[in-house]
Amino acid sequence: MGNKLYVGNLSYKTSEENLSSYFSSYGTVTSTKIIFDRDSGKSKGFGFVEMSSEEEANAAVQDTNGKEFDGRQIRVNLAMDKPRRDRSSGGGYGEY
């Protein structure tokens, strides 16, 4: 469960291929995803890297957090699960 990394403060020119290559020295990268703004199509400056094991992910965090990558000092830590939205309240207008 703890093998997905959050990578922040990425350069806007960083590609998923570059990110994968950088983290591959810590083990097998199973996926990379840079987050882009849906309106402008530009990078939001952060992304996610998934490693094949928790041990590889922990080693990557230890060795890369605060290091320079593509001209920026990146922040790397274990990604948190996205909180689930409570859909039971229905939401909507006029509800108090």
Q: What is the pLDDT of residue 94?
A: 59
- Write out pLDDT tens, residues 32-89: 999 999 999 999 999 999 999 999 999 999 999 999 999 999 999 999 877 766 666 5
Sheet holding 43-51: strands in order across?
29-36, 43-51, 4-8, 75-78
Residue ranges of domains in the chain, CATH in brackets: 4-77 (3.30.70.330)
Angle at CA of residue 33, ends 2 and 9, nearest 5°: 85
Q: How far is CA 86 from CA 79, 83, 91, in A?
A: 21, 9, 9
What predicted TM-score, i.e. pTM, was given to this entire model? 0.82
- Write out pLDDT tens, residues 1-39: 579 999 999 999 999 999 999 999 999 999 999 999 999
